[in-house]
Homo-oligomer: A and B are copies of this chain.
Amino acid sequence: MKIGFIGLGQMGAAIARNLIEAGHDVTVWNRSADKAARLVAAGAHLAERPVDAAGGEIVLTMLADDAAVEAVTFGDNGILSSPARPIHVSLSTIGIPLAERLMQAHAEAGSVLVSAPVFGRPQAAAAAQLFVVAAGAADAIATCQPLFDTIGQRTFLIGDHPPQANLMKLCGNFLIGSVIEGLAEAMTLGRRGGIPKDRMLEVLTGTLFGAPIYNVYGDILAREKFHPAGFTAPLGLKDMNLVAEAANDARVPMPVLGVVRDHLLATIAQEGDTIDWSALGRIVERDAGF
């Protein structure tokens, strides 16, 4: 299939590479050209402007924040200006207001938005083991399904209203944050009582908490492997702020979200911008005097 891919960070590059290797005709664009060069070496075409990556049947975007998605979508050289009217598959974790604005703009332009945010850290992306959470018009999703099958292990269909996939993703990311916070509090109390963190983790994952999320983040917390970051604290904070924006607009009080956000602020204030977001567990320990 002739497709475009915009956004070649840690996640995007891994996903794009899988699409190239699956035999798709991929045109890539990235704000900093050096990252695109590596994909070109792997067989991709190079687009000079975002719109040049939107000449095929589908264009996928995987970008760090709302502003980046806005930049490549709206404006003179953005996706919406492409006469090809490709399906826009938005893989990024973005806010609900932007998702609604994208949906509306595509409707006005005669094109279609499919929101398809993914769960998984960079390793999962490289291994094509992502989970895809998709919402949009059924026929558009059907067209995209082969791509989802290439990049992920499973696709979940939420419905035909694209922003609901984004909301599902935000809820999931909030839950991940709440798991990190909960684990950190439990491990800190256990550690004070003489239970090693990895021993506690073994009991938890061996009993009721045997889910990937506890294995992945439990291990990071137990070994304090906060560098290099798989997902930095500022990115985590950005996502929690998107959840807070959605909760605010929906009038839903979420006190645990407040705790997670405050601890991410403390993490960034005390540890800087490059640390993994799970280092909020270090704040929990430090508060307890460790």
* Chain A interface residues toward B at CB < 8 A: 96, 119, 131, 133, 154, 156, 158-159, 161, 163-164, 167-168, 170-172, 174-176, 178-179, 181-183, 185-190, 192-195, 199-200, 202-204, 206-214, 216, 237, 241, 243-244, 246-248, 250-259, 261-263, 265-266, 268-270, 283-284, 287-289
Between-chain CB contacts (< 8 Å), 9 pairs: A172-B203, A175-B209, A178-B182, A182-B256, A193-B250, A208-B213, A253-B262, A253-B266, A266-B289
User: Which B residues touch A284, using CB under 8 A?
Assistant: 253
Contact of A289 among B96, B182, B270 (CB under 8 A): B270
**Pair A185/B250 contact, Cβ less than 8 Å:** no
With A96-B193, A119-B207, A247-B265 already in contact, the answer to whether A288 and B199 are too (CB < 8 A) is no
A265 engages B283 (CB within 8 Å): no
Checking B172, B188, B244, B287 against A208 with a beta-carbon cut-off of 8 angstroms, the contacting residue is: B172
Number of chain copies forming the complex: 4
* Bound CA span A91–B67, Å: 31
Distance in angstroms between the alpha carbons of A133 and B200 in the assembled complex: 11
**In the bound complex, CA of A29 to CA of B147 (Å):** 56
Which residue from chain B places its CB closest to the CB of A243 in the assembled complex? B189
Q: Is the CB of B195 within 8 A of A168?
A: yes
Chain B residues, Cβ within 8 Å of A200: 168, 171
Q: Which of B209, B243, B253 contacts A263 (CB 8 A)?
A: B253
Query: What are the 8 closest A-B residue pairs judged by CB atoms, nearest first?
Result: A258-B258, A269-B289, A211-B211, A253-B262, A178-B182, A251-B269, A192-B250, A171-B186
**Which single residue of chain B is at the shortest CB-CB distance from A190?**
B171
Q: How far is the CA of A167 from the CA of B199 in the complex (A)?
A: 12
> Would you call A131 and B208 a contact (CB within 8 A)?
yes
Further 20 A-B residue pairs, CB within 8 A, beyond A119-B208, A159-B195: A164-B194, A164-B195, A167-B189, A171-B187, A171-B189, A172-B186, A172-B207, A175-B186, A178-B178, A208-B212, A248-B261, A250-B288, A251-B288, A252-B265, A252-B287, A253-B262, A253-B263, A253-B266, A256-B256, A256-B259
